[in-house]
């Protein structure tokens, strides 16, 4: 049985917010706190290919902001949550630039907070691809991390898409 119903659109597939919640539960299960919640502002989301997501992440140039030669980090005023918000905005802008390509749907890409990895509180990004694979994304390193490399991620309490 499929964990969600996929809708085909020009250039890819979409997932409803409800089906996305089920997919997250299926993939993250024991990593979620009991009271976790998905904050979904839209009814459905476009599932990008891994290559498309990787291109947006690489073109974001987030590494330059995190590197010692770039802007210096300023404590809590420009830390992990700020990086994850900026990368989420890059994906929003990418969808805005080509609304017809994705039938005016946002990417299935968001922000996650938890002990990532345990015991460190951290904010990152996440995505689900058209291959129905869930990934975490470390925006400061522009790194896409497969779920099987996240054994020590725990106590996820906030997921926004």
Write a three-state SS string for 62-114.
HHHHHCCCCCCCCHHHCCHHHHHHHHHHHHHHHHHHCCCCCCCCCECEEEEEE
Q: Are strands 109-115 and 121-128 parallel, antiparallel or unpaired?
A: antiparallel
Read off the pLDDT band of 152 (50, 70, 90): very high
pLDDT per residue as tens digits for the range 103-148: 789 999 999 999 999 999 999 999 999 999 999 999 999 999 999 9
| Domain boundaries 7-160, corresponding CATH code | 3.30.460.70
Q: What average pLDDT does the segment 30-45 reach?
A: 95
Domain residue extents for the chain: 7-160
pTM of the predicted protein model: 0.86
Mean pLDDT of the chain: 87
């Amino acid at each position: 049985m499929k964990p969600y119903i996929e809708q085909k659109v020009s250039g890819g597939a979409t997932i409803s917010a409800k089906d996305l919640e089920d997919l997250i539960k299926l993939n993250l299960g024991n990593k979620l706190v009991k009271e976790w919640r998905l904050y979904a502002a839209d009814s459905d989301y476009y599932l990008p290919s891994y290559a498309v997501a990787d291109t947006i992440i690489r073109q974001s140039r987030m590494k330059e902001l995190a590197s010692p030669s770039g802007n210096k980090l300023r404590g809590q005023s420009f830390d992990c949550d700020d990086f994850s918000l900026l990368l989420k905005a890059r994906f929003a802008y990418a969808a805005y630039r080509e609304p017809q390509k994705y039938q005016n749907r946002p990417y299935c890409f968001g922000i996650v907070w938890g002990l990532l990895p345990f015991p460190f509180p951290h904010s990152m990004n996440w995505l689900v691809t058209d291959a129905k694979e869930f990934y975490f994304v470390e925006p400061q390193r522009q790194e896409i991390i497969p779920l099987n490399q996240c054994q020590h991620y725990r106590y996820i309490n906030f997921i926004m898409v």
